[in-house]
Amino acid sequence: MPPYLLARIAVQPQFEHAAVAARRTLDRDAPFREFRCTDERPPSPPHEGLLAEAPAHPAGTPFRRISDAGGREVLPGRLVRSEGEPDTGDEAVTEAYDGLGDMFGFLFEAYGRDSIDGAGLPLDATVHYGRDYDNAFWDGERMVFGDGDGEVFRGFTNSLSVIGHELAHGVTERTANLRYQDQSGALNEHVSDVFGALLEQYVRRQEARDASWLIGEGLFTDQVEGVAIRSMIAPGTAYDDDVLGRDPQPAHFRDFIVTDDDNGGVHLNSGIPNRAFVVAALRLGGPAWERAGRVWYDTLTSDRIGRDTDFAGFAAATLDTARARYGDTSAEVLAVAEGWGEVGVLAD
C-alpha cells in the first residue's frame, strides 16, 4: 500500500475510523520501509510459537499453510488450514489459500519456477493480522494480510493482483534483489505489479487486450471514487476522489518525481516502467505472460541486473534478454523497444 495514500487517509476527518487505522498501519509499516532499502533483512513482527517443519512434497506441487492471527500483530497465528485440507468457511482463509496456489501454479506452468525460491519453498500465510490493518506484505518468510478498515479498504485477500504482487517481492528478493530505494526500488515495485497483473490474467485466461491492468481492483469500498490502487495501462488514473485526491503516479520519465518520501518514490515512479510493459504486451498481443512476461522473468532471473539497476539499465537488460531468446530483429525486441520509448526511458 503506498504510504502517501495512507498518510492522506490518516488526516481525513470524514473517515474517522479509517484515519485511525491508517495511522496505525503507517506506524506498523515504518520499520519495513526503513530496512527494505538496506542490505539488512526487514525486522520481523513479533512471533509466538513455530510451525512444524513442512513435510517433503513432490517438486512442482505446492505446500500451503494458512494461519489466523485473530486480530493480533503476532505471527504466525493459529494454523487453520494446511495443504489438501477442506475449506474452513472463513473467506480470508479461502482467498489466501487459493491465491497462494494460483501463484504457485502460474510460476511453475508459465516459467518452470518451483515456488518463490525456485526450490519448492512452502507457502505460508497469516490472515486477520492486526486490528483494521490496511495492508498486506511479504516478510521474507510468509504472506501477511490485514482485513482493511471497512470504511476505505476491504480485506486484502480480496485482490489476486495484490497476492501476486506481494509474493513477487519474494521472487525478486531471491533473484535480482533490487534495492528498495529510488529507481531500483521503483523497479522492485514495478516487477511485483507486473507479476501481480499477470497472475490475475493467467487465472482469468485473459489476453493482454482484454485485461484491466489494475492493481488492487476492488480493494476500495463504495465510499471511494476509484477502481484500484494503481493502473498499469494508464498510471495516474486509478482513483480521483474528493477526499483522497487523485492518483499521483507519472506515466512518462519526463514527469519522474524526485522525493525523499516513500523510499524515493518507489510506489510513484513505478508507473513509468509499468506503462512500458503494458505497451510492449499490447503490441505483442495474446496472453501477456507468454512473451512480454517471459522477457521480464528472464531479465529478473538473469545476471543482467543487480541491486542498484536503474530504469535505463533495466530497459537495456530487457532488450538484451529479448534478443537472446527471440532474435535481434524479432517482434519481441521491437515491442520492448517501443514500450521503453513510449515512456521516454529509451529513445524511440
DSSP symbols for 220-244: B-TTSSBS-SEESSSTT-SBEETTT
Q: Would you say 337 and 214 are in contact if contact means Cβ atoms under 8 Å apart?
A: no
Nearest to 275 by CA among 231, 317, 228: 231
* Residue 55 pLDDT: 85
Q: Give, for 125, the enclosing helix (H) or strand (E).
A: strand 123-127
User: Pairing relation of β-strands 64-68 and 123-127?
Assistant: parallel
CA–CA separation, 275 and 250 (whole Å): 9
We find that the CATH architecture of domain 3-173 is Roll (3.10)
CATH architecture of 182-342: Orthogonal Bundle (1.10)
Q: Which three cell numbers, joined as nine digits, stand for 157? A: 485477500
pLDDT at 33: 60
Distances (CA, A) of 271 to 26, 289, 318: 22, 19, 17
Q: What is the pLDDT, as a whole number, of residue 16?
A: 87
What is the torsional sign of CA 128, 134, 139, 145? positive
Cell of 308: 542498484
Residues of CATH 3.10.170.10 domain(s) within the chain?
3-173
CATH 1.10.390.10 maps onto the chain at 182-342
Q: Which of 128, 165, 169, 267 is catalytic?
A: 267
Q: What angle do CA 80, 84, 90 make, to 5 degrees?
A: 40
Q: Is 267 in the active site?
A: yes
What number of residues does the chain have?
A: 348
Tell which residue, 164, 111, 102, has the closest CA to residue 300: 111
Burial annotation 305-319 (CB, 10 A radius, 16+ → b, else e): beeebebebbbbbbb
Full-model pTM: 0.95
Cα–Cα distance for residue pair 138/85, rounded to 1 Å:
23
Tell how strand 136-138 and strand 64-68 pair up: unpaired
**What pLDDT sits at residue 61?**
96
Give the active site residue among 83, 166, 189, 217: 166
CA distances 104 to 108, 118, 168, Å, are 6, 10, 11
pLDDT at 217: 97
Q: Is 151 marked active-site?
A: no
Cross-strand bridge partners of residue 47: 75
pLDDT at 39: 58
Local confidence pLDDT in tens for the 348 residues of the chain? 899 999 999 999 999 899 999 999 999 987 766 555 555 555 667 777 778 888 888 999 999 999 999 999 999 999 999 999 999 999 999 999 999 999 999 999 999 999 999 999 999 999 999 999 999 999 989 999 999 999 999 999 999 999 999 999 999 999 999 999 999 999 999 999 999 999 999 999 999 999 999 999 999 999 999 999 999 999 999 999 999 999 999 999 999 999 999 999 999 999 999 999 999 999 999 999 999 999 999 999 999 999 999 999 999 999 999 999 999 999 999 999 999 999 999 986
How far is residue 346's CA from residue 333's CA, in Å, rounded to a whole number?
13
